[in-house]
């Protein structure tokens, strides 16, 4: 799976998670994990954990890019 990992702030290729627990594990252990997991749960509307993770990554990719742009 290719996605933007918001906990590391990098794009990466990883083995696709096969369960919601694995997906949530990818978003854990970070000071903002609660925010990442809340967004993941909002995106997970059809039990497609891979799609939900990719969409979560896209959401935070855009947010992180805005944080780096000069004003």
How do residues 4-59 score in pLDDT, each as one tens digit? 999 999 999 999 999 999 999 999 999 999 999 999 999 998 789 999 999 999 99
- How confident is the model at residue 68, as a pLDDT? 72
What SS3 state is found at 32? Answer: coil
- How confident is the model at residue 67, as a pLDDT? 80
Q: Which residue has the higher pLDDT, 10 or 67?
A: 10
Q: Is the pTM of this model over 0.85?
A: yes
Question: Can you tell me the distance from the alpha carbon of 36 to that of 44, in angstroms, rounded to the nearest whole number?
Answer: 12
- Whether 71 shows a pLDDT value over 80: the answer reads no
| Tally of domains within the chain | 1
Handedness of CA 20, 23, 25, 28 (dihedral sign): negative
Per the structure, the complete domain to which residue 15 belongs is given by 2-68
């Amino acid at each position: 799976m290719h996605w933007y990992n918001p906990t590391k702030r990098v794009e990466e290729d990883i083995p696709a998670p096969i369960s919601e627990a694995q997906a949530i594990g990818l978003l854990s252990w970070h000071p903002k994990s609660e925010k990442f997991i809340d967004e993941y749960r909002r995106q997970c509307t059809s039990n497609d954990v891979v799609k939900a993770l990719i969409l979560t990554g896209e959401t935070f990719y855009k947010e992180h890019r805005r944080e780096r742009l000069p004003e």
